Amino acid sequence: MVEVAPGVQVWAEEIPGPGEPLLLVMGANASGLTWPDELLARLARHHRVIRYDHRDTGRSTHAFDERPYALRDLADDAVAVLDAFDVDRAHVAGMSLGGTLVQLLLVEHPDRLLSAAVFCSAALEGTEGLPGPDPALLRLWGELTDERTREQELTWRVEHWRLLNGRVAPFDAAAFRALEERIMEHSGRTDSPAAHAAADTDGLDRAAELREVSVPTLVIEAPEDPVNPPPHAAHLAATIAGSRLMTVEGLGHALAPSLLEPLANALLGHTCGDVR
């Protein structure tokens, strides 16, 4: 457990491996357990991998109503996790809101980064003219804080993953249900985390600073992403100075089992040039 603010702790875990540290930053309202074990094992062949639960997810402190925070604070939490593991500099990879936080790290803490990878995310600036989330997702998000039994909550979460998965990669409902059962056991809660939707979003327009980034950055396009669909990734890559854009075909806004290998290859090709 890592103290990130007075009375606030986040759960973090290291998966030992050779090579340089790699910090994984998950999306909004999602536990670090959302990173699949198969992906962690693949990355840990080459890196010391660290994942963690954001505030108000998993085993971390759930106290937003008593201790509200800004989304920018979650980026500082990532730095606190690196400090707790005595990591001076790390590769970082962020998905969705995690990609937003990685962008904040690029402009606020570049000295702590060896490289950065961002996917399923939008640029830290106005995104006028770019497509928004699928209306079916928006309707489902309207139910986020509804009261549900454990079984109803599992059904809701699996349906959420089905929409996030997109229409190309096979959707393994049993695998995502098992994942959510593990997350419930891990967190000791069955309600849907929702605090990040209420967090302060001030200070997130950082496009000018992103254009000055010198940290090697990979932007991965998820062509089936229903939250930040194309051309969000291309726009992000054009915003971050010197970044490289590549596509993982079939990838949506979920880590589908069938796409873990090409995603790992993309990340490892960026961090160490080795995809074996």
58 in Cβ contact with 186 (< 8 Å): yes
Cα four-point dihedral sign 149, 152, 158, 162: negative
Catalytic residues: 96, 225, 253
Cα four-point dihedral sign 158, 117, 131, 72: positive
Q: What is the largest CA-CA distance in the chain?
A: 48
- For tokens 């098992």, the residue is 178
Those residues whose C-beta lies under 8 Å from the C-beta of residue 263, and which sit 6 or more positions away, are 39, 119, 220, 248, 251, 255
Transcribe 3-71 into DSSP letters: EEETTEEE-EEEE--SSSEEEEE--TT--GGGS-HHHHHHHTTTSEEEEEPPTTSTTS---TTTS--BH
3-state secondary structure of 99: helix
Neighbouring C-beta atoms of residue 203, cutoff 10 Å? 12
Q: How far is CA 36 from CA 62, 196, 235, 261, in A?
A: 23, 22, 28, 11
* Cα–Cα distance measured from residue 180 to residue 177, given in angstroms and rounded to the nearest whole number: 5
